[in-house]
Homo-oligomer: A and B are copies of this chain.
Amino acid sequence: MNEQHVVVAIPESAPLDALGPLARTLLVTVAAADETTGDVQAAEVVVIDDDTLGLLPALGTFPRLRLVQSVTAGVDALLPDIPPGVVLCNASGGVHDGSVSEWVVTVILASLRGLPAHFAAQGRHQWPPAVEQPILAQELAGRNVCIIGYGAIGRAVEQRLAPFGMHITRVALRPRAGVCPPDEIPRLLPSTQIVVLAAPLTDATRDLVDAGFLAALPDGALVVNVSRGGLVDTEALLAELRRGRLRAALDVTRPEPLPARHPLWSAPNCIITPHVAGTTTRWRERAYRFVGDQLRRYERGEPLQNVRTSY
């Protein structure tokens, strides 16, 4: 280890080319999660991706650790393992908002258009009138959408939905012009046909979507969760789905992964994808370009981006 370098533990699978030029950084690639000795333990910076998640419980033993940089937008699961005094940053603002917002528009359209039923009919090679029941297609135009959580992802969703002619309301913990505070949610729900959950999981948002929230939505409303499963009371949602009153499109669930025997898998009018909203063929390159920017800031002692905790 060279004392002049910033030692950075980074997943071996990372697209290192995307980092760009780094002047004083010694990259130590981590191949296995249990590789917490030697140079890895000397790291000032640890980059957390799927294959370095296993480092988390050991971070308290890293004597020089200053910064934990996640490549994800949500960092709720990392918080308990961040040692006191260590800064945690997420990857947001340009890394995930495009891909995640594309997923949101995809599943809203798929749900309203009845794509699951269409794909099933295609699987049976059935052109109407062989299909027993007509597949109703609803339009986005004129629908009321409520975006809960109005950060980079919420704004990106709004930009992409706007030209469909939707009425969009916004809710965020930090209200500002055009953005409602959470206590207005009960007033908004009865006229909301599509709810998009894009808020981080915090004590303020945990179980936000409970039986009362769902009951306030009108018949046929669609609940889209691209945030964390913890925002939604799964049993309450399941009850509304089973009685055919609401629809859902979920990229995140509670429990997650969803066990094979969980009834949510086959609940009516429920689209489930396995936490892949941000995971496109391009996201990793974008994420590691962001990590490169952040490392250059760290090298130079400049303010970091997307600081989530700083004790």
Q: B163 touching A274 by the CB < 8 A rule?
A: no
Q: A115 touching B110 by the CB < 8 A rule?
A: yes
Q: A281 touching B139 by the CB < 8 A rule?
A: yes
CB distance from A47 to the nearest CB of B (A): 21
Closest to A127 in B: B257
The answer for the CA separation of A170 and B118 in the assembled complex, in Å, is: 29
Interface range on chain A (Cβ under 8 Å from partner): 35 or more
Q: A103 touching B98 by the CB < 8 A rule?
A: no
The answer for the CA separation of A99 and B138 in the assembled complex, in Å, is: 9
Given A162-B163, A260-B125, check contact A140 B274 (CB 8 Å): no
The A114-135 residues at the B interface (CB cut-off 8 A) are 115-116, 118-119, 121-122, 125-128, 130-131, 135
Q: B139 touching A99 by the CB < 8 A rule?
A: yes
Work out how many copies of this chain go into the complex.
2
Q: B141 touching A98 by the CB < 8 A rule?
A: yes
The answer for the CA separation of A190 and B266 in the assembled complex, in Å, is: 42
CB distance from A283 to the nearest CB of B (A): 8
CB 8 Å contact bits of A159-191 with B (1 = contact, 0 = none): 110111100000000000000000000000000
The answer for the CA separation of A106 and B261 in the assembled complex, in Å, is: 30
CB 8 Å contact bits of A255-275 with B (1 = contact, 0 = none): 011101110011000011110
- Residue A13 CB within 8 A of the other chain: no
Given A137-B281, A163-B159, check contact A119 B119 (CB 8 Å): yes
Q: Which residues of B contact A279 (CB under 8 A)?
A: 137
Q: B113 touching A109 by the CB < 8 A rule?
A: no
Q: Which residues of B contact A118 (CB under 8 A)?
A: 273-274, 276
Q: Which residues of B contact A121 (CB under 8 A)?
A: 274
Partner of A274, one of B127, B159, B276: B127
Q: B280 touching A125 by the CB < 8 A rule?
A: no
Partner of A276, one of B130, B137, B266: B137
The answer for the CA separation of A164 and B103 in the assembled complex, in Å, is: 12
CB 8 Å contact bits of A140-159 with B (1 = contact, 0 = none): 11000000000000000001
CB 8 Å contact bits of A231-271 with B (1 = contact, 0 = none): 00000000000000000000000001110111001100001
Q: List 8 A-B contacts (CB under 8 A).
A: A105-B105, A106-B109, A106-B113, A110-B115, A125-B265, A127-B274, A128-B257, A138-B281
A residues lining the B interface (CB < 8 Å): 98-99, 102-103, 105-106, 109-110, 113, 115-116, 118-119, 121-122, 125-128, 130-131, 135-141, 159-160, 162-165, 256-258, 260-262, 265-266, 271-274, 276, 279-282
Q: Contacts A99-B141, A102-B164, A118-B276 given; 12 further ones with Cβ under 8 A?
A: A103-B137, A106-B115, A118-B273, A118-B274, A122-B265, A122-B271, A125-B258, A125-B262, A128-B257, A136-B281, A137-B281, A138-B280
The 5 A-B residue pairs with the shortest CB-CB distance in the complex, in nearest-first order: A127-B257, A106-B109, A125-B265, A125-B260, A137-B280
